[in-house]
Chains A and B, each alone.
Chain A
Amino acid sequence: MGLLAGVAATVHAPYLTAFPERVDADALTITTDGFTRLGAMFSRTSIDGLLVVTCEHIVNLEPRLVPPFTIGVGERHPVFHEPHFRLPGGDRLGDPELGRALYDELTERGFDIAHSVEVALDHGTMVPLELMQIEDVPVVPVVINTLFAPLPSLRRCAQLGTALAAAIEAAPGRRRIGVLATGGLSHTVGAPGMDRIDAEFDARFLVALADGALDRLTEFDEATLDAAGNGTHEVRTWITAAAAASGLSYEVVTALPNVAGWDVGVHQVRWTA
């Protein structure tokens, strides 16, 4: 039996590593401290593996083939090198045994999730791992399609989170597994509005998250998410984490609603036993 050793969700905006000099000292300190606290949480619980529920940026997914959910079952996962974001290249240790076990359990629970021995990790995964200073822990990525419509519904993402938590508990061995969701709240990528967020949406989402209200988290329709910015669809990872964390205690780690210079909110939360 495995153990769900903690769940967290965090921003992954690449400007955090690319342009730390653009923001004021207080914001940088608070952000750095937040990532340090999340890294310490997983270190303190001595996790054997980290399930990263992530979205990506046209590195694995493209219109030619777009599974709604993909789990990485590789021995190692190549890092998509993004030196312009001051991120390293190379690769990261995977855990194919855990990945396959989770795949099997998810299938049993009605999730025909795609699997891949070569899920490339872009800044959506690497910004948090670098800033949390998580280096040696095996990573099992779960990529959610937040790019190419039609996207998986928010309700289906919540169901995935519930199923992932159960799959972790059913995994062989005595692994202690952490879950890290990465993604932004409201933001826009590649279109006018990249310097804006939707504070009203973020506040409404965060209140529902704090309340553990999956019904309210999953009631946002596609038009609402589109209006808050095309990157807002990344909240699917947060909803997956919230569902996986059912029954755990919720805590806000970082809450910077809008950081000038990065032009995003820096939000981080965690759920612990």
Chain B
Amino acid sequence: MSTDRLTQVLVDVTRGRSHSAFLEDPDAVLDASGLSTELIDAIKQNDYAELHRAGAHPMALLYLSRAMGCPLDSYLDQLARGGAAR
């Protein structure tokens, strides 16, 4: 799975072509995304550290955290505790 593909999905669901559909049925959008089960679970569980380690673009990841209502400090703390990107 390319990191670009992961980033593209994050962009699509937060501000791109899948944004509206994601708001209505996130499971359906993620299941059709082509991402691995592990990454889909990380998105569903707001596991930003795992997505960061998997190579998601930090700006796209920040937008996902905002869309999910995660405060900036909590988001950054999760990344800081979660280790560096692979």
Contacts and interface: CB of A to CB of B under 8 A. Distances in A.
Nearest to B61: A190
A159 interface: no
B62 A190 contact: yes
Interface in B47-85: 52, 57-63, 72, 76, 79-80
Please name the 7 residue pairs, one residue from A and one from B, whose CB atoms are nearest each other, closest first: A190-B58, A190-B62, A63-B4, A191-B58, A63-B8, A192-B80, A190-B59
A273 B49 CA distance: 50
A179 to B, nearest CB: 26
A189 B59 contact: yes
B58 A189 contact: yes
Decide if the interface of chain B is mainly helix, strand, loop or mixed.
helix
A62 B76 contact: no
A63 B11 contact: yes
A58 B63 contact: yes
Interface of A: 57-59, 62-64, 147-148, 188-192, 194, 230
A59 B11 CA distance: 9
22 contacts: A57-B59, A58-B11, A58-B63, A59-B15, A62-B7, A63-B4, A63-B5, A63-B8, A63-B11, A147-B59, A148-B57, A188-B58, A189-B58, A189-B59, A190-B57, A190-B59, A190-B62, A191-B52, A191-B76, A192-B79, A194-B76, A230-B59
Contacts of B5: 63
B72 to A, nearest CB: 8
B22 to A, nearest CB: 15
Interface residues of B, number: 19
Contact of B11 (A62, A189, A192, A230): A62
A192 B15 CA distance: 23
A268 B32 CA distance: 46
A9 B63 CA distance: 27
Given A58-B60, A148-B4, A148-B57, A191 B15 contact: no
B16 interface: yes
Contacts of B52: 191
A189 B16 CA distance: 20
A271 B52 CA distance: 40
A191 B55 CA distance: 12
A191 B11 contact: no
B17 to A, nearest CB: 9
A63 B57 CA distance: 10
A64 B15 CA distance: 14
A192 to B, nearest CB: 4
Nearest to A57: B59
A192 B76 contact: yes
A183 B62 CA distance: 19
Contacts of A58: 11, 15, 57, 59-60, 63
